[in-house]
């Protein structure tokens, strides 16, 4: 216990101005001797807040009175959804959402990565602000009963009449599930329901109709990708092709003898377009189901130079260091936690000429880029994509080139 700490501010009300939004989408404000993190804030809000948690120099607060709202603030169009925590930016005008995400990326790279960006990166907006998701995860609580998303910072399910974030095919599936729930036909156990759609078909896991989830086929950038709801797949249907195009910007190396690498390859989203640019491609995917789909997708596309390994990056690296030369190109799209230290060390031992990092967390991206740039890589280009409108999340594509290699 810190015996030098002053009296707790918990329960106190303070008037302050929100200066900006930071990682996680919370507002940054100050009071005498305190840095405040304010939930559901907008940049420029003049607010009265109540301290909910006091950690010494840092305190977490919620708004109790909106004294003067920011010009960027709007009334959330779907209040129930906003209450669930699934749409933490629904109270912001869309241009403000984009500006905040640019600033979050810029701040992470400068503060965590020590990367001196002169300006915030370009951000590609979503074609649709609502009704854009082709993947969803819904929660079912049989006790309330309730079907929807989890409340922010809680395991409580917020019951929703509909899901305005998803495309019409998934909105229809949600309506059907809700009808089943109201009729008492969703069962007596809590469920996490994964949903995905492509080509007009819907895949659910678990499927209330029973059996395995339906396979669906997405057509992206000229490639056909078969998968089901259990597999990871990028979630914004309107940005799939621009994301592939950006990821492939520096990928061409048709004469290279060593294989290009696609780490965390999922069902082959980037693997197949990469195989159009390289004689051989090795994809790594820890999830055996996704790895099976990835190899099947490559085989059905008659891309004979593709080999998918259902291994972790760390496991595969032990073989790779002995068996393969320096890869001409490496693409990685890791989960939110980024690269494990052992995976990062193994990747750097391979010394790929060019490297493209697709990230869904600017903080872990900045951490990993710092390591790569210390090892001789230069950041050539950085682009953000708003794959997740109405939320604080942002996707970033970073292109790096090793010293002595032309970026093209």
Which residues are the active-site residues? Answer: 360
- Residue 145's nearest CA partner among 132, 165, 160, 166 is 160
Strand residue runs (E) in 186-342: 191-198, 201-205, 216-220, 223-227, 260-263, 281-284, 306-309, 329-332
d(CA 317, CA 350) in angstroms, rounded, equals: 9
> Which residue, among 147, 146, 150, has the nearest Cα to 173 in the 3D structure?
147
CB 329 within 8 A of CB 247: no
Buried residues in 257-296 as b, exposed as e (16+ CB within 10 A): ebbbbbbbbbbbbbbbbbbbbbbbbbbbbbbeebbebbbb
Instruction: Name residues whose C-beta falls within 8 Å of residue 359's C-beta, 6 or more positions apart in sequence.
Output: 333, 334, 338, 365, 368, 395, 396, 397, 398
* C-beta separation of 354 from 402 below 8 A: yes
Of 38, 33, 100, 94, the C-alpha closest to 67 is: 38
Dihedral sign (CA 352, 364, 91, 131):
positive
- Which residues, other chains included, contact 48 with Cβ-Cβ below 8 Å and sequence gap of 6+? 13, 14, 15, 63, 64, 65, 67
Please check whether residue 377 is in contact with residue 402, taking contact to mean a CB–CB distance below 8 angstroms.
yes
Instruction: Name the burial class of residue 137, with classes exposed (0-12), middle (13-18) and buried (19+) by CB atoms within 10 angstroms of its CB.
Output: middle
| DSSP 8-state assignment for residue 405 | -
157 phi/psi in degrees, rounded to 5: -85, 125
What b/e string do you get for 377-386 counting C-beta neighbours within 10 Å, with b at 16 or more? bebbbbbbbb
Q: How many other C-beta atoms are found inside a 10 Å radius of the C-beta of residue 151?
A: 14
């Amino acid at each position: 216990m810190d015996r030098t700490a002053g009296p707790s501010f918990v329960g106190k009300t303070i008037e302050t101005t929100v200066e900006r939004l930071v990682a996680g989408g919370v507002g940054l404000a100050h009071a005498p001797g305190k840095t405040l993190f304010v939930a559901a804030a907008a940049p420029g809000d003049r607010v009265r807040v109540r301290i909910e948690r006091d950690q010494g120099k840092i305190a977490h607060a919620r708004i109790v009175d909106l004294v003067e709202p920011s010009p960027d603030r709007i009334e959330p169009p779907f209040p129930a959804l906003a209450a669930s925590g699934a749409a933490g930016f629904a109270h912001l005008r869309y241009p403000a959402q984009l500006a905040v995400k640019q600033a979050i990326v810029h701040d992470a790279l400068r503060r965590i990565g020590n990367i001196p960006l002169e300006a915030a990166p370009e951000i590609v907006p979503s074609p649709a602000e609502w009704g854009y998701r082709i993947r969803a995860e819904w929660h079912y609580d049989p006790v309330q009963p309730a079907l929807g998303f989890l409340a922010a910072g809680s395991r409580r399910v917020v019951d929703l009449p509909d899901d305005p974030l998803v495309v019409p095919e998934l909105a229809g599936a949600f309506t059907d599930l809700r009808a089943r729930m109201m009729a008492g036909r969703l069962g007596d156990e809590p469920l996490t329901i994964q949903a995905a759609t492509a080509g007009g078909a819907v895949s659910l896991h678990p499927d209330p109709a029973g059996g395995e989830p339906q396979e669906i086929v997405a057509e992206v950038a000229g490639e056909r990708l078969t998968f089901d709801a259990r597999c990871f797949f990028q979630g914004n249907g309107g940005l799939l092709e621009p994301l592939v195009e950006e990821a492939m910007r520096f990928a061409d190396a048709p004469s290279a003898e060593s294989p290009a690498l696609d780490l965390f390859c999922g069902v082959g989203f980037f693997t197949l377009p990469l195989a159009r640019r390289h004689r051989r491609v090795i994809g790594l995917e820890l999830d055996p189901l996704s790895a099976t789909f990835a190899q099947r997708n490559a085989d059905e596309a008659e891309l004979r130079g593709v080999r998918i390994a259902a291994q972790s990056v760390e496991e595969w690296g032990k073989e790779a260091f002995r068996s393969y030369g320096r890869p001409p190109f490496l693409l990685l799209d890791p989960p939110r936690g980024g690269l494990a230290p052992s995976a990062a060390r193994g990747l750097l031992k391979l010394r790929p000429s060019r490297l493209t990092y697709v990230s869904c967390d600017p903080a872990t991206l900045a951490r990993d880029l710092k390591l790569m740039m210390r090892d001789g890589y230069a950041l050539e280009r950085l682009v953000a994509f708003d794959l997740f409108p109405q939320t604080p999340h942002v996707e970033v594509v970073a292109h790096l080139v090793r010293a002595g290699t032309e970026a093209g």
